[in-house]
Amino acid sequence: MEQKTIVWIGAGRVATHLAPALAGAGLKTLQVYSRTEASAAALAGMLQASFTTDLSSVVSDADYYFFSVKDAVLPELVAALAPRCGAGAFLHTAGSIPLSVFEGLGLSRYGVFYPLQTFSHGRPLDMRAVPLFLEASSPAFAAELTALASSVSARVYSLTSSARRKLHLSAVFACNFVNHCYTLAGNLLAEEGIPFEALLPLIDETAAKVHRLSPAEAQTGPAVRYDRNVLDAQLAQLQDRPLCHDIYELMSRSIHEEAQKQNSEKQSI
Amino acid sequence: MEQKTIVWIGAGRVATHLAPALAGAGLKTLQVYSRTEASAAALAGMLQASFTTDLSSVVSDADYYFFSVKDAVLPELVAALAPRCGAGAFLHTAGSIPLSVFEGLGLSRYGVFYPLQTFSHGRPLDMRAVPLFLEASSPAFAAELTALASSVSARVYSLTSSARRKLHLSAVFACNFVNHCYTLAGNLLAEEGIPFEALLPLIDETAAKVHRLSPAEAQTGPAVRYDRNVLDAQLAQLQDRPLCHDIYELMSRSIHEEAQKQNSEKQSI
């Protein structure tokens, strides 16, 4: 079987993690395009591919075009390359962009290849553990995409655009908002001269717990029973941080609401 | 040196983790008191100690009395035992209760022994990695307590009552609120039939990241730049969940505020 070829449109954190994984699975990267020369050169170097910052120089004979760019510029890049490169399959890696971004451009094979993970530069990850969520323009292309994704990850799911949008939103809670809770906790500690690292065992254990228990079962703290005395005493400590105060109030109400839901579910069994 | 002895008042999750660690460090548990016989018996069995559910049967000759009970009942239990058992040192393990809970009762040696961790029944933890925050009635007792704590954990800090209260509040953010973000994320996934475990690699990596980066540096997502288009589209998905909607709104504002603070700090360097 002939070796399949890839062009990467975008050389950011997602591309920098996915591209080597696909190379490791035997696909050959022909070229990397990025508006930023340093990024294009870095990823191309990693993949022993050529690079360009000129959209009109993107080669037209690749099997797959992976678009891994900011949501806002994805539609225009897809539209710009479709006429010349559209014999290849077009794929994007974005959580919130529907499959329909590829429609109406004369493309015959296109899809979504969305990895649910937070990627950092310079931090390698076990890609086989990263869930990949796929969507494809046809059942035949879905089968091809599933085979491709399975060569990279052990967790491959297929998902509609609207479900993927919900998944992306859930990742905002599980990653972005969680990380911000770490920030707010660290700010409180800093006031007392306590280093952030004192929280790391607690942070690690909180994450480890939900491998065994559902997060609703794992929930602890004064908000579960909505202990007004404890809550008010803690809120009083946040009086000079209005946003943080309101987050505490809302999160506590939401935790309590969820605990009551859990309780009534238990009682109805 | 004579073996030091302990009585545990309370047999909940904190006691169940701390007591075996102290036993492992060579202290002997004489007795476990709990209002709940099954809990008292279980912990006493683990420590080869006796147990009681009757406060007036608590032995009076222990070196240390560890109070590890709900905040609301701590003052009355301390007051009830002080007259008869006050020759021993009294300690509590609570984040939000000041040292002064022991004052005015004729006690001469007392302190706080607060482990910053979320404990679950049936899940052993490496206690040497759990930070212990100490406060003591005198410099001499502080030295004794530090030696005791160091036999259990590699991370021993001393902290005033008001700083400990702040620390406890920060743990609410880093543990309770983080876990609730997991719950809200899981609820969104459940609507699409996606199992919660799909989030675990993301959850683990989000926790792992702040071992290397400060959480403010690790922050990603649409709220950092306050991208109103993306935020509004995500908020629209939460319209039938008013609390969740408002949490999203507040967290996003707070993330953006923090990002601006970071930026202005960078620019002023």
B132-178: per-residue pLDDT in tens?
A: 999 999 999 999 999 999 999 999 999 999 999 999 999 999 999 99
pLDDT at A121: 81
Q: B-chain residues within 8 Å CB-CB of A118? A: 202, 205-206, 209, 220
Task: Judge contact between A149 and A97, C-beta under 8 A.
Answer: no
Percent of chain A with pLDDT over 70: 99
Alpha helices in chain A (DSSP H): 13-24, 37-47, 74-85, 139-150, 161-171, 178-191, 200-209, 215-218, 228-236, 242-267
Give bridge partners of residue B78 from the DSSP assignment.
none
pLDDT-derived band at A95 (thresholds 50, 70, 90) equals very high
Average pLDDT score over chain B: 95
pLDDT-derived band at B124 (thresholds 50, 70, 90) equals confident
B122: contact with A, CB 8 A cutoff: no
Q: A-chain residues within 8 Å CB-CB of B184? A: 170, 173, 254
User: Do B57 and B132 fall within a single domain?
Assistant: yes
Rounded (5°) CA angle A199-A202-A206: 135
CATH classification at residue A181: 1.10.1040.20
A16-41: per-residue pLDDT in tens?
A: 999 999 999 999 999 999 999 999 99
User: Do A141 and A51 fall within a single domain?
Assistant: yes
User: How far apart are alpha carbons B210 and A198 in whole angstroms?
Assistant: 12
Between B120 and A102, the more confident residue is A102
B90-102: per-residue pLDDT in tens?
A: 999 999 999 999 9
Say whether B200 and A211 touch across the interface (CB within 8 A).
yes
User: Do A153 and A251 fall within a single domain?
Assistant: no
A150-166: per-residue pLDDT in tens?
A: 999 999 999 999 999 99
pLDDT at B264: 83
pLDDT-derived band at B1 (thresholds 50, 70, 90) equals low
Percent of chain B with pLDDT over 70: 99
Average pLDDT value for residue range A172-195: 97
Per-residue DSSP letters for A129-164?
GS-EEEEESSHHHHHHHHHHHHTT-S-EEE--HHHH
CATH classification at residue B87: 3.40.50.720
Tell me: pLDDT of B62 over 80.
yes
State both tokens at A256. Answer: 């309590």
Interface size between A and B, measured as CB pairs under 8 A:
290
User: Do A179 and A241 fall within a single domain?
Assistant: yes
Say whether B243 and A223 touch across the interface (CB within 8 A).
no
> What separation in angstroms does the CA of A5 have from each of A17, B18, B209?
17, 58, 33
User: Do B151 and B187 fall within a single domain?
Assistant: no
Tell me: pLDDT of B268 over 70.
no
Average pLDDT score over chain A: 95
User: How far apart are alpha carbons A207 and B107 in whole angstroms?
Assistant: 40
A65-90: per-residue pLDDT in tens?
A: 999 999 999 999 999 999 999 999 99
- At what angle are helices B200-209 and A178-191 packed, to 10 degrees? 30
Where does a domain end: B121, B137, B159?
B159
User: Do B189 and B101 fall within a single domain?
Assistant: no
Structural domain including B75 reads 5-159
User: How far apart are alpha carbons B246 and B138 in whole angstroms?
Assistant: 47
A247: contact with B, CB 8 A cutoff: yes
User: Do A90 and A10 fall within a single domain?
Assistant: yes
Where does a domain end: B159, B189, B211?
B159
**A17-48 burial code (b ≥16 CB/10 A, e <16):** bbbbbbbeeebbbbbbbbeeeebbbbbbeebe
For chain A, how many residues are written? 269
Where does a domain end: B108, B128, B159?
B159
User: Do A121 and A183 fall within a single domain?
Assistant: no
User: How far apart are alpha carbons A20 and A31 in whole angstroms?
Assistant: 13
Interface probe, candidates A119, A210, A244, chain B, greatest B C-beta count within 10 A: A210
User: How far apart are alpha carbons B168 and B116 in whole angstroms?
Assistant: 8
User: Do A145 and A229 fall within a single domain?
Assistant: no
**pTM to 2 decimal places:** 0.93
User: Do B95 and B222 fall within a single domain?
Assistant: no
User: Do B129 and B172 fall within a single domain?
Assistant: no
Task: State how many domains chain A has.
Answer: 2
User: Do A107 and A177 fall within a single domain?
Assistant: no
Q: Which amino acid belongs to residue B260?
A: Q
User: How far apart are alpha carbons A107 and B82 in whole angstroms?
Assistant: 81
Average pLDDT value for residue range B86-113: 97
pLDDT at B269: 57
